[in-house]
Copies of this chain bind each other. A is one copy, B any other.
Amino acid sequence: MGLRKELDQKDPLAIGQELHRFVGELYPICRSITGNGVRQTLAFIQNKIPLQTFEVPTGTAVFDWTVPKEWNIRDAYIKGPAGKKVVDFQECNLHVLNYSTPVRATMPLSALRPHLFTIPEKPDWIPYRTSYYKEDWGFCLSHNQMLTLEDGDYEVVIDSTLEDGHLTYGEYFLPGRSSDEILISCHACHPSLANDNLSGLAVATFLAQLLSGRDLRYSYRFLFIPGTIGAITWLARNRDTTGRIRHGLVLTCIGDRGRFHYKKSRQGNAEIDRVVDHLLRQHCESPKILEFSPYGYDERQYCSPGFNLAVGCLMRSVWGTFPEYHTSADNLNFIQPMQLAESLSLCAAIFEVLEENRRYRNLSPYCEPQLGRRNLYASTGGGAIEAQINARLWVLNLSDGEHSLLDIAERSGHPFSLIHEAAQTLRESGLLAIVSENTGETTRLEEESQEKTGDSSSDHSCGSSSRS
């Protein structure tokens, strides 16, 4: 589909700055797992892609869980003995323990203290804390700020509501020729934290923009959901759809300066795992592949044993391992335009490989075909063979209907792009036919347009009828 090539022709800094600007728009919103912060966030995304939003009522049973009460907050502060605001939600929404119950009280510092959270090791940063499933209230502040608090009575106000309402999430479905789907999921529940996960939201939104309007092999489903409960809610409401998900990526923390990390799916050797591994090794500096583990982001839900979907998690720095994680230091300066652009480009490359990773059949499988008379071979004898010709020989040799282009790239050590280009060239020369995934039959290039029509008409109806 040439997605990455198109992207690579643009100025990456300009793209990165657009991504960063979008993050900047979303940054001030106070998000949580429910409430208006999520709705506002989805509205911003709807300015870019025709996202569909869903509202699921409090109390709805979703597998072992229940959709919680909806939380909203208007204001919160602590006034000191001198009547001055010493902690102010308006200055930074991390100041409030996320999901705090409403409070209006005056109390001595000693009574307030158990409700205050700081990071003594990073005395200037405000921590991010939540209490979703145990009703509580509290304030987060910098340690230095706390040290200035004097004894006396404090006025504590949290103007929040925690009431029956809805859980909100957004979904964007892009139909492809096949009803087989690629899932892209990112959590949209953190307040002013840039890398975790506005970086993911921004890259996913731009990816959706890039893909829309294209002729796609796969259907794509983008989810913008609250972490954990959102993924569980979506899975509970779309249990039948999950059977169509062939590959998936959770996108998170992909805007910082760290090297790429990819956490493999529970399956461990799924196509998505191999594709990301291949691209990271070919194109990125010292990437790190992590084995699956059942703790992390929403891959936990997608990879639960009942679903066991081929969903991995793409990150730069890994949650919990960088000091800025879940603090006010995960701000707009922590993420970088060039890194955001590179993450977008990598995702585009991943989809490109998934789209193009087909099996082919060498139509001249007995001995090598004579590439020379087709101008596909260096005509002067001896000397070193070029990578391009070598790639053609590999494609011809392994295209027995069993090996995919990714298999060939892995075995030959050539980049997928070179192998794919070789396959296209050989196909245009009539030496290769594509193998149908369903029937195992081969289709030559000249028969292809015909196939496409028939194929997509039935697939599309199937792909689009899946919405609830």
Which residues of A are interface residues toward B (Cβ below 8 A)?
Answer: 62-65, 127-134, 228, 231-232, 235-236, 239, 266, 293-295, 300-301, 303-308, 320, 326, 362, 364-370, 372-373, 379-385, 390, 393-394, 396-400, 412
Contact = CB atoms under 8 A, between A and B. Distances in A.
Contacts of A400: 305, 308
A406 to B, nearest CB: 17
B326 A367 contact: no
B293 A367 contact: no
Nearest to A391: B294
27 contacts: A62-B367, A63-B364, A63-B367, A63-B369, A64-B367, A129-B382, A133-B370, A133-B379, A134-B372, A134-B379, A231-B367, A232-B367, A235-B366, A236-B367, A293-B393, A294-B396, A294-B397, A295-B390, A300-B397, A301-B367, A303-B397, A304-B366, A304-B396, A305-B362, A305-B396, A305-B400, A326-B382
Contacts of A397: 266, 294, 300, 303-305
A258 B372 CA distance: 32
Contact of A380 (B131, B308, B367, B380): B131
Given A128-B382, A364-B63, A373 B412 contact: no
A194 to B, nearest CB: 17
Contacts of A398: 294, 305
A381 B294 contact: no
Copies of this protein chain in the complex: 3
Nearest to A319: B382
Contact of A127 (B133, B228, B382, B393): B382
By Cβ-Cβ distance, the 10 closest A-B pairs, closest first, are: A306-B365, A306-B366, A294-B397, A294-B393, A130-B381, A305-B400, A64-B369, A232-B367, A305-B365, A301-B367
A294 B382 contact: no
Contacts of A301: 367-368
A222 to B, nearest CB: 20
Given A294-B398, A306-B366, 16 more contacts: A62-B367, A63-B367, A64-B368, A65-B367, A128-B382, A129-B380, A134-B379, A235-B366, A235-B367, A293-B393, A295-B385, A304-B396, A305-B397, A305-B399, A306-B362, A326-B382
A362 B306 CA distance: 9
Contacts of A64: 364, 367-370
Which of A128, A132, A306, A307 is packed against the most chain B CB atoms within 10 Å? A306
Nearest to A362: B305
B63 A366 contact: yes
A117 to B, nearest CB: 9
A211 B382 CA distance: 35
A279 B304 CA distance: 28
